Amino acid sequence: MSEKARILIIDDLADNIRMLRPLLKGDYEVIAAESGEEGLNIARTQQPDIILLDLKMPGMDGLEVLRRLRADKSTRDILVIMHTSNDDQTMTHTAIEEGAIDYVVRSGDTHLLLAKLKQYVEQIIVPRKQGAPSIPDIPVSTDLKRIFLSYSSKDATFAAHLKGVIEQMGYEAWIDHSHIKAGAVWLRSIEEGLKTCSGMVLVMSESAMASHFVTAEYLAIIRMKKPLIPVLYTPCDIPIVLEIIHRIDYHGNPLNAIEELRQSLKEQIG
């Protein structure tokens, strides 16, 4: 990408902006706003690629800014990373549910933030700029009920196997590499996939549970109140929000797991 990615910092504390600006300006074009209202105006007029958004601000707080960004057609595709000193896990979940792609707790060590920015630019922003920024047409099957398959890229082989199993059971499996067209806006494509599916099968593994993309997907399906069927592929820490949902233990008993998946799909999806 020849041009630098544009990052908008929205933070009411000028010291925080002064701390971030020199860290970012070598690799990115940096703009800043010291209030939620100003940040929204800049987002609409200057169309940043990524917004670093503070949570606690006077007047309009970060969550309200996030909601308004997502409600506005001109700003809804901008990536938003909450960058705040609030380390409350509940607030993390709330921010993801409202549409943030990540939540980074502010600290003296900025390596995590810089690494995440680099990752998002390389994996999302660069492909956006190189391809057509249009939302692909995703056909809605009239015969088969669609199951969204959420997984980490490290589990792609197992996900492909599970896709075949789901399709043999008489469902359509929505999987990103099959349904997202080249040059499409990735996040919007995923959103459309979630909207058109009847439920989700979530592949659980250490890498999947650490993935911000997978987290955003299963939180979205919970928010939509659609059936969620977790399948434990490899041992991992279970996020609090998933502890209350029955999961299928593929790791412990693969043969029984397939039959249990069949029954769960029949009972929850139909």
Any idea where the domains of the chain sit in the sequence?
6-130, 146-268
| Band of pLDDT at residue 43, cut at 50, 70 and 90 | very high
Give the tens place of pLDDT for each residue, 176-217.
655 444 444 456 667 778 888 999 999 999 989 988 788 888
Is 100:65 a contact under the CB 8 Å cutoff? no
What pLDDT, on a 0 to 100 scale, did the predictor assign at position 32?
97
Helix, coil or strand: residue 30: strand
What's the start-to-end Cα distance of the chain, in Å?
46
Rounded to whole angstroms, the Cα distance separating 90 from 68 reads 21
CATH node for 146-268? 3.40.50.10140
The helix (H) or strand (E) run that includes residue 147 is: strand 146-150
Whether 6-130 and 146-268 share one fold: the answer is yes
Instruction: Please determine, for residue 158, whether its predicted confidence score (pLDDT) is greater than 50.
Output: yes
The token pair that represents 127 in the structure block: 């492909």
Residue type at position 46: Q
Instruction: Please determine, for residue 246, whether its predicted confidence score (pLDDT) is greater than 90.
Output: yes
| Band of pLDDT at residue 21, cut at 50, 70 and 90 | very high
CATH node for 6-130? 3.40.50.2300
Residue range 254-263: mean pLDDT, rounded = 90
Give the tens place of pLDDT for each residue, 111-145.
889 988 987 888 778 867 765 333 334 344 445 68
Residue type at position 159: A
Rounded to whole angstroms, the Cα distance separating 173 from 158 reads 14
What pLDDT, on a 0 to 100 scale, did the predictor assign at position 37?
96
Instruction: Please determine, for residue 73, whether its predicted confidence score (pLDDT) is greater than 80.
Output: yes
Tell me the pLDDT of the chain averaged across its residues.
84
Rounded to whole angstroms, the Cα distance separating 191 from 264 reads 24
What pLDDT, on a 0 to 100 scale, did the predictor assign at position 140?
41
Q: Taking the C-alpha atoms of 67, 73, 77 and 80 in order, what is their torsion angle to the nearest 10 degrees?
A: -30
Among 100-109, 161-170, 183-192, 232-241, name the one with the lowest average pLDDT: 183-192
The answer to whether the predicted template modeling score (pTM) of the entire model surpasses 0.85 is no
The token pair that represents 235 in the structure block: 């041992």
Is 200:227 a contact under the CB 8 Å cutoff? yes
